[in-house]
Amino acid sequence: MTRFKDKVVVVTGGSDGIGLVTARAFAAEGARVYVTGRRQERLDEAVTEIGGATVGIQGDVGNLSDLDRLYERIQREHGRVDVVFANAGISETRALGEIDEEHFDRVFSANVKGMIFTVQKALPLMTDGGTVILAGSASGSRGFPALSVYNATKAAIRSLARTWTTDLKSRGIRVNVVSPGVIETPAMQTYLQRNAGMEDVLKQLTPLGRLGQPEEVASAVLFLASNESRFVAGVELFVDGGVMAV
C-alpha cells in the first residue's frame, strides 16, 4: 500500500517501541518520515531500521528550541507537514504522598507541554486537510495506582484533542487520539521480566486474553492518519484488547 506516498510525516519519540514501529509503517507506505529521539546513538539505529526517506532529529519535545530545529529542517527540505504523530512521552510511578515537584515537572513537560508545542509549532507548515494523532493511554481513563501524575497527563491529551478539533476545523485538520492498553514494547518486556506473574495477570484482565503488539497500534495510527478515516475527528481510539469497552 502507498497511502502516504510522498507525504511528510513527523513521529516524535520514534526511536523505540510504538513510535519506531509506527514510523516504519509510514515509511513502508511511501512517507518521508522525520523521527525524533533524545539519544543520538539509538536514534541513528532507528533511522536505519525504519529505512526509506527517513531523517532523525535528536531532541527533547519538552525543549522548544529542539522542536524549532525539527521544523526548520522540514521547512528547508519540504516546506510542509502532512501528518503529525505526537508520540513522545514518559511514564514514572509516584504514589500520592510521594509526588515531588521534579516528578511533576518531568512528566508534564514531556507528556503535555511537549505535545502542545509539537502540534502548535507544526501548524504553520501543516497542509489544510492534514492529520494529527496524539498518543494517549488507557491510563487516562483509569485510576491505576501510583500513576496519578502520568494518568492526569493522558487525560489532558484526550481533552486537547477535543478542543483542537474545533480550533482547526476551518483548515480541515483532523485531530484524534490513539490510546494503547498493555502493549509488548521493549519497556513492557523489561517490566514483565522484573515482575514475575504480571504477564498472566494482565492477560486475564484483557478480554482478548493477550498482550497487544506495537504493530497493532501502528495500524490504528495509520488508519487515523489516512483518508480512510476522513469523517473521524476528535475521537479516542482504544487499542487495548477490549479493556476499556468491556
Global pTM? 0.97
Alpha-carbon gap, residue 149 to 180, rounded angstroms: 18
pLDDT at 75: 98
Print the domain residue range for 104.
8-183+213-239
Q: How far is CA 147 from CA 27, 92, 106, 154, in A?
A: 34, 7, 13, 11
In-domain check, residue 201: no
In-domain check, residue 21: yes
Nine-digit cell string for 57: 532529529
In-domain check, residue 37: yes
Alpha-carbon gap, residue 23 to 46, rounded angstroms: 9
In-domain check, residue 157: yes
Q: Which CATH number is 235's domain given?
A: 3.40.50.720
In-domain check, residue 191: no
In-domain check, residue 110: yes
pLDDT tens sequence across 146-170: 999 999 999 999 999 999 999 999 9
User: Percent of the chain beyond pLDDT 70?
Assistant: 100
What is the spatial order of strands in the sheet that 54-58 belongs to? 54-58, 32-37, 8-11, 81-86, 126-135, 174-180, 236-239
Query: What residues are labeled active site?
Result: 150
Report the number of distinct structural domains present in the chain. 1
Q: How far is CA 60 from CA 18, 31, 86, 138, 187, in A?
A: 17, 23, 12, 24, 19
In-domain check, residue 203: no
One-letter amino acid for residue 49 of the chain: E
In-domain check, residue 101: yes
pLDDT tens sequence across 93-135: 999 999 999 999 999 999 999 999 999 999 999 999 999 999 9
**Phi, psi of 34, rounded to the nearest 5 degrees:** -115, 120
